[in-house]
Every structure is written in C-alpha cells, then in structure tokens.
Amino acid sequence: MATTPASTPGYGINWATVLCFKISTPCDLAGRYGCAKFCDQWDYFFDRCEPGKCCCHR
C-alpha cells in the first residue's frame, strides 16, 4: 500500500491522543485493514479512515 512517507507517528497531526496522516489509497480500497496496519505499527488503535486520511488513537 502506498502512503506518504511516514516513519513515526510524529509525521502526522496529533491532537491529544488522536493521530491523523495522509494515505494515497482510498479507504474503500485499502479499507480499515490498511489504515489499522499503520496504527498497530505505532502501538495505536484504529480510530477512523476518511478519504485520503487515516486516524489512530491511544
């Protein structure tokens, strides 16, 4: 799955415990799995997937 370069959660926008970052694959194609995969890598939980954006929380 192609995404914008992101090696740490700090790359995204962090509001308190919610982290959102851009993804290039639409959520309806990559689905929750693609988004949740990144959340899991950083010990976050899947929050939501919006068009072009994935959000995780702690």
pLDDT tens for residues 18-58?
888 888 877 766 566 778 888 888 888 888 888 788 899 88
Q: Tell me what pLDDT residue 37 has.
A: 84
Is 4 a residue whose pLDDT tops 50?
A: no
Ramachandran area for residue 3 (φ above 0: left; ψ -120 to 50: alpha; else beta): beta
User: Please, which pLDDT band fits residue 13 given cuts at 50, 70 and 90?
Assistant: low
Is 17 a residue whose pLDDT tops 70?
A: yes
- Give the start-to-end residue ranges of the domains of the chain: 12-57
Q: Is the dihedral of CA 39, 43, 48, 52 positive or negative?
A: negative
Distance in angstroms (rounded) separating the CA atoms of residues 58 and 31: 20
Q: What is the DSSP string of the chain?
A: --BS--SSGGGSEEETTEEEEEBSS-HHHHHHHHHHHHHHHTT-EEEEEETTEEEEE-
